[in-house]
Structures are given as C-alpha cells and as structure tokens.
Amino acid sequence: MWDVAIVGSGPAGASCAAFCALAGWRTLVLDRARFPREKVCGDCLNPTCWPVLDRLGVSAEVRAAPNGRLSTVEFIGVDGRAVSAPLPSGERAEIAIRRSLLDHILLRRARSLGAEVREGETLLSVSRGEHWQIATEQSVETARILVAADGRNSTVARLCNLMPRRGRDRVALQTHVPLPRNFGDRVVLQLLPEGYSGQAPVGDGLLNLCLVSRPRDLPAIKCWAERQFAIPTDHVWRTIAPLARAALPASQPGLFLVGDAARVVEPFTGEGIYYALRSGELAAAAICAKDHRRYTAAHRRLYAGRLWVNLLARSAVLHPRLTTNLLRCLPNEKQMLGLLTTKVVRL
C-alpha cells in the first residue's frame, strides 16, 4: 500500500514526489519514459523557480549543469522590428537548461529522499474502490492518494473521465541546434506570419528552438527555421499537441492534478516549469495536511494574478500581424515590454 502514487515524473511529478517523501509519505512515481530524455519545452527557468528549487535542495546542482544564462528578452515582430528588455541578474537570473538535465536532477532528488521511481512503465488503467488501484504493463499497485502529473494529454484525467473534448489548436515543434555565432545571452520571442518561434541558448554550444503554428502552417514555419538556422530538411523534431486545453478541477478527494495535467498556460510566457514545480509543491503540502480543498484554493491563487498575462500573450501570438502593427503605434513600447517582463519573472 502506497500513501501516494504519482503518474508522470517531469518537474510537477518529481517536485510533488520529493516533498511527499521528505514528509515521510510512502511515495511511488511511475513514468512511461526512461530518463534522461528530452521533452518539447522552451527550456527556460523563470527566476520564480529558484525559491522552489532552494526548498528542494537542488539549486546549486541546477546552476552547475550546462545552461545558458539569459540577460535580456528580445521581442521581434513580423516586420523584423526588435524590442528588448532586461532580465534579473545575479544568482536569481533566468537560465535555459535542457529538460533532459533538469528532469534528471529533480528525479534523482526525489529518489534520494525515499521516493520509489519506476521508469518505462506505461499506465494502463486506474480504478477506485476504498483505495486507488493503478495498473501498468509490469505491475498493479494500490495507493491512498493518486496524483496526475502526466501532462496536457493526461492519461489519468482521461481514464477518470475528466479530459475535455479535444478542440482544434496549434502544434509545437522543438529541437536543439548549434548555437548561431554572436547569438548572445538573450531569449528571443519572434512573431512570424505562420505563428511564432522561441529561441534560447542552453549551454554546450546549443540553442533551444521552438516553433508554434496551426497544423496547416507547419510546413511553412519549418521551412523558415531550416533557412534561418541551416537545419537539414530531414532533421528530426519533437512535437506536441494540442498546445492549449481547458483547465480541469485541480483536486477532488484522493485525486490531485498538477502541472499541465491541471492547467496549460501559453508557452510564450515561459512560465510552464514554474507552474509545474510550484503546483507539485502545493499538492504535496495539501496531501500532508490531508485536505484536498487546501490545494484547490492554493492552485487558484497560484494562477490568479498571472492569467491576464497568459491571455494577453495568447491573443498576441494568435494575431501576429495585428500585434506587430499595434506595437508600432504604442508610445514607449520598450517600457511596456519591460513591465510585462517584470510581471512574468517577478520573485
């Protein structure tokens, strides 16, 4: 009998597992992947992540891993006009680190605190009687608490009949390519006629390159990237869809949803990893307090002050030409970008 079974071991699942194990709860983590592995992600660690990483005890290890320290964010309109704003500096600077490295660090920490982590186990079914019964290809386990940390296409949510109907949306592509010469220590958010691109150096001479577009525009935006970054046409990209999805209830008795399994935010804001880490921590606190409503309330507060930024970003990237024209007309557009940047990366 496990106290807590967590499906998914990305930042949300690993964070929740580490904090539960630290509190003495018998914790099991299941993931269909084998680590280390790359994942579709912008790879950016918002400065708001550092307090959570401090509490997990992994900040020094994350800083020591290959990464790119980012000093500015540069916004490029469809017309090529660029506006930039500074990012926090010092130990709390924003960095970009490959998910293969970050997830491995977090999962290793969860293991060191006593969580049992099983890789390469695909969830087949969940059922609930007095306790949860979780079946994978290799085993059947029983747990008092179940945590869904398995992403926007959560298998747990689907098996529990919580997943909303999938609508038409955009697709994200991601890869790592050689860092262009003189790219600098910036993260680039570039609007394109077909969607947008995110670019950030992640260390080891590599650039994280993300593309987002509607399915019909995918060939065109890939052609743009191939020309811009000298990428071979047979290059393999990682992909994920849908990019957005309706929010789900964060918890109910005995069941917690963390990270993208609960709510998906616009990747353009770069806040996904923070929401994953923090929601995992908040869920663990509510589990230890034996009060799922505590997590529901805390989860609501976590997003409350930031969702308007997410909505603004989503509107901007869905209408790139309109956004570009609007920025042209606004006075002090650099100051406005600075204010939005401060809002997103505030500590």
**Residue-wise pLDDT tens digits, 131-145:** 999 999 999 999 999
Coil, strand or helix at 90: helix
Note the pLDDT of residue 305: 72
Q: How far apart are CA 7 and CA 285, in angstroms?
A: 18
What percent of the chain lies above the pLDDT cut of 90?
A: 75
**Global pTM?**
0.93
Q: How far apart are CA 44 and CA 142, in angstroms?
A: 36
User: In degrees, to the nearest 5, what angle opens at C-alpha 144 toward C-alphas 276 and 137?
Assistant: 75
Hey, what's the torsion of the CAs at 321, 322, 324, 327, to 10 degrees?
Answer: 180
Residue 269 burial by CB count (10 A; 0-12/13-18/19+): exposed, middle or buried? Answer: buried
Classify domain 2-68+98-167+244-310 at the CATH topology level. Answer: FAD/NAD(P)-binding domain (3.50.50)
Q: Which of 98-102, 175-179, 217-221, 317-321 has the lowest mean pLDDT?
A: 317-321
Does the structure show a pLDDT above 70 at 48?
yes
On whether the CB atoms of residues 33 and 15 are closer than 8 A, the answer is no
Task: Determine the average pLDDT of the residues in 313-330.
Answer: 70
Residues 6+ apart with CB under 8 A from 264: 152, 243, 244, 245, 247
Residue showing tokens 């589990």 = 287
Q: How far apart are CA 70 and CA 109, in angstroms?
A: 25
Note the pLDDT of residue 196: 92
Q: How far apart are CA 281 and CA 275, in angstroms?
A: 10
Q: Which of 63-72, 222-231, 266-275, 318-327 has the lowest mean pLDDT?
A: 318-327
Domain with CATH 3.50.50.60 in the chain: 2-68+98-167+244-310
Coil, strand or helix at 344: helix
Does the structure show a pLDDT above 80 at 43?
yes
Tokens of 66: 């290959």
Tell me the residue type at 233.
T
Note the pLDDT of residue 243: 85
Note the pLDDT of residue 318: 77
Under DSSP, the state recorded for 305 is T
> What end-to-end distance do the CA atoms of the chain give, in Å?
39
